[in-house]
Amino acid sequence: MRPQFLVTALLLIAPLADADILRLRDGGQLQGDLEEVVLKTGGSHKIIDGESIASLTVTGDANAKVVLKKGDSLFGTLASLRVRTRAGTRTLSGSDVKSLAASDDIVPKAPPVKKPDSVISDDDDKEDSKATTEEQKKLLALNKSVWEESHGEIGTIKDDDEKAVKKEYQSKVDKVVDAAKKVNSTIQSKIRERERREREYRAELREYNRQRSRDRNNKNSNYRYNRRAPQKPRHNDGLEKDQRELAGIRSAGIKLKRIIGDKMSDIERAASDREDRIKYVYYDNKKKILAGEELSEKAMRERFKNAMTLKERD
């Protein structure tokens, strides 16, 4: 089992680092979090939560294939979709979209790890019955006992290796997450301030136009509305720089997530390799014992020890 920190760390990095990538028909792409897809099927429209989508492919006539994360596939005409980007939420027409790369597919996955074969065959006891002497029976029992000890040690080594990864990467994960949270908070504050200034500008512009219109329509009035038109706000708050910084932090998060995943996969592979090796030694020892070859307890333990340290089999 992976250390709890890795589960937490990857979950924290994921929303900062991962994003869905929409490839558009004009050759561009849009990166963000897919929130909703509207698929026209027959005479009705089906609304699909973006979190449930694994992939989306659209042909030239907007016919779409939606593959859900649970494995089901849906077919229909892509009516529209909504995606949340750093700049805000956008709704796109289905005719604008070419394909979707879900966030789970953006970060390369580690190769699948073979599940350790840690179980001795059910026919093992039948083979042990072939022992003809008490010494053979004793050595066979010892062989099985040492295999069980080695099997337990593999779990200990695996736990220790995972703890070492935790010790090495916990502070780095915390640093990336904290930095992303801080910059993202600054970005959101600046966006809210820009939106406030834009609202004020539009309100002032409406009032300006209303007063101007009233003045023009009142021919008997000696009053002339001579206030200058409000100026569209200019933003010099460094938002774009902050957004670039956040993109860099997210990129670092993706890289860190990949490194952690690769190291955990290496640990799984090492455990699997050790399981295979001690099982080989177990059956090879058994073969030697039943063939009447001399095999001391010291030699037996040494063979298991060599297998555990991933030395070449003799």
Separation CA 250–CA 210 (nearest Å):
47
Note the pLDDT of residue 292.
Answer: 86
Per mean pLDDT, which range of 68-77, 88-97, 226-235 is the poorest?
88-97
pLDDT, position 79: 82
Helix (H) or strand (E) holding 195: helix 134-217
At residue 223, the pLDDT reads 54
pLDDT band at 86 (very low <50, low <70, confident <90, very high): low
Q: Can you tell me the distance from the alpha carbon of 60 to that of 95, in angstroms, rounded to the nearest whole number? A: 8
What does the pLDDT read at residue 105? Answer: 35
| pLDDT tens-digit readout, 173-215 | 999 999 999 999 999 999 999 999 999 999 999 988 888 887 7
Residue bearing the bigger pLDDT, 172 or 314: 172
Nearest to 314 by CA among 301, 298, 303: 303
pLDDT above 80 (res 279): yes
- Name which residue leads in pLDDT, 168 or 227: 168
Percentage with pLDDT > 70 across the chain:
75
- Is the confidence at residue 100, as pLDDT, over 90? no
Q: Which residue in 148, 114, 156, 129 sits closest to 282, CA to CA?
A: 148
Query: 251-263 pLDDT, tens per residue?
Result: 999 999 899 999 9
Q: What is the mean pLDDT of the chain?
A: 78
Mean pLDDT throughout 31-45? 77
Q: Is the pLDDT of residue 113 over 80?
A: no
Kindly report the number of other CB atoms within 10 A of residue 229's CB atom: 10
Which of 98-112, 185-199, 286-300 shows the lowest per-residue confidence on average (mean pLDDT)?
98-112
Say if residues 285 and 143 touch (Cβ distance below 8 Å). yes
